[in-house]
Structure 1
Amino acid sequence: MPKKSSPLREKIYNKLIEDIVTDRLNPGERLSEASLAKRFKVSRTPIREALLQLEKLGYVVHQKNVGTVVKKISPEGVREIFEVVAALEGMAVELFGKLPPSPEDMAQLARLHESLKRYTEHQDFADYYEGNRQFHDFFALKSGNKTLVKLTRSQRDRIYRIVARGSTLPIHIHQYAAGHEAIIKALEKGKAELAGSIMKNHVLEAAYLISGNLEPLPWSPFPSHD
Structure 2
Amino acid sequence: MTDNTQTRSETLREQIEEMIAVGTLKPGQHLDETVLAERFGVSRTPIREALIQLASMGIVVIRPRRGAIVAEIGPQQLIEMFEVMAELEAMCARLAARRMSPVEHAVLMATHLACKQARDDADSDAYFYKNEEFHQQIYIGSKNTFLEEQARALQRRLRPYRRLQLRVRNRVTASFEEHGAVVDAIIEGKGDLAAELLRQHIMIQGQRFSDLVASLSALASEA
The normalised TM-score by structure 1 is 0.83
Measure how far apart 1:64 and its partner are. 4.2
> Which residue number corresponds to residue 149 of structure 1?
148
> Which residue number corresponds to residue 211 of structure 1?
209
Please give the secondary structure, in 1, of the residue aligned with 2:73: coil
Measure how far apart 1:211 and its partner are. 2.5
Distance 2:134 2:125 in 1: 14
**Structure 1: tracts of 5 or more residues without a match:** 215-226
> Which residue number corresponds to residue 201 of structure 1?
200
Question: Contact 1:167/1:210 (CA < 8 Å) preserved in 2?
Answer: no
Distance 2:131 2:166 in 1: 14
> Which residue number corresponds to residue 134 of structure 2?
135
Alignment of 1:20-169 (within 5 A): 20-99=20-99, 101-165=100-164, 167-169=166-168
Question: Contact 2:127/2:172 (CA < 8 Å) preserved in 1?
Answer: no
Please identify, of 34-43 and 153-162, the stretch whose mean Cα deviation from structure 2 is larger: 34-43
Distance 2:163 2:149 in 1: 22
Measure how far apart 1:26 and its partner are. 1.9
> Which residue number corresponds to residue 184 of structure 2?
185
The normalised TM-score by structure 2 is 0.84
Please give the secondary structure, in 2, of the residue aligned with 1:113: helix
Distance 2:166 2:119 in 1: 15
- Whichever residue aligns with residue 45 of structure 1, its letter is T
Distance 2:207 2:73 in 1: 16
Question: Contact 1:78/1:211 (CA < 8 Å) preserved in 2?
Answer: no
Measure how far apart 1:184 and its partner are. 1.8
Measure how far apart 1:124 and its partner are. 2.6
Question: Contact 1:75/1:213 (CA < 8 Å) preserved in 2?
Answer: no
* Deviation by residue 1:103-158 (Cα, 9 ceiling, x = unmatched): 22222222222222332222132321111111100011122222222222221122
Distance 2:2 2:206 in 1: 43
Measure how far apart 1:85 and its partner are. 1.4
Question: Contact 1:8/1:46 (CA < 8 Å) preserved in 2?
Answer: yes
Question: In 2 relative to 1, CA 50–62 (structure 1 residues): closer, same or farther, beyond 3 Å?
Answer: same
Aligned residues: 212
Question: Contact 1:21/1:165 (CA < 8 Å) preserved in 2?
Answer: no
Please give the secondary structure, in 2, of the residue aligned with 1:23: coil
Distance 1:27 1:187 in 2: 36
* Deviation by residue 1:50-109 (Cα, 9 ceiling, x = unmatched): 11121122222123442111122211122122122111111111111112x322222222
Distance 1:184 1:166 in 2: 21
- After superposing on structure 2, the runs of 4+ consecutive aligned residues of structure 1 that deviate more than 4 Å are 207-210
- Whichever residue aligns with residue 19 of structure 2, its letter is D
Distance 1:10 1:162 in 2: 23
Q: Does 1:16 align with 2:11?
A: no
Measure how far apart 1:165 and its partner are. 4.4
Distance 1:208 1:136 in 2: 23
